[in-house]
Amino acid sequence: MKHIFNKGTNEQLPVLLLLHGTGGDERDLLPHAAMIAPEASVLSVKGNVNENGMARFFARLREGVFDEEDLIFRTTELNAFLDDSAREYCFDRSNIVALGYSNGANIAASLMYHHEHALKGGILFHAMVPRRGVSIPDLSDSPVFIGAGKKDPLIPMEETSELIRDLREAKSHVTEYWTDGGHELRREEVDAAAEWFKSNFPKDKR
């Protein structure tokens, strides 16, 4: 998968896995990572799916309706890529926190739904429920921050609330942050995520 790896100054911190939204690329979330965890290493990935010239992490049948078969395949593909990247760049595979927006947040959630210990935690901006009717692994050691807009035209509040319930039922400690905005990623969400990261992954922790 096309990607960027930038080694951080504090290798004790989790590696931030950056996952862009539809139409983005591996450079999109680098400024946000610098705001949230400037000392952390970063692995920023570009989605392998092309939808009318726009990069995505998995296919969809139409707006808001995922191609579940492709979602499962791409989630497994991404999980294997993380295994390979940990070996290539010599970082701790068990210490990765996803930072995803929209489509990227959805595949990050899918990693947590389908693969035990795939992520140490997640920052999910404007995410949806990736799949229903599946048994989610124990996420008691994987805290999650969810940023959402109360007026998001693509993701109803009920959808976000269902995602939060799913994660909490899987024992994840979920922090939710709601803005009065829509589907756009707001600075206040990023600032709140930065505080969440500092609280959950203190830089002096050994």
- Cα–Cα distance list, 113 to 52, 85, 172 (Å): 28, 21, 11
Q: Which position among 41, 85, 102, 110 bears the catalytic label? A: 102
- From the list 110, 114, 152, 166, the catalytic residue is 152
Concerning whether 183 is annotated as a catalytic residue, the answer is yes
Which one is catalytic: 3, 115, 173, 183?
Answer: 183
* Whether residue 142 lies in the annotated active site: no
| Catalytic residue list contains 44 | no
Question: Which residues are identified as catalytic?
Answer: 102, 152, 183
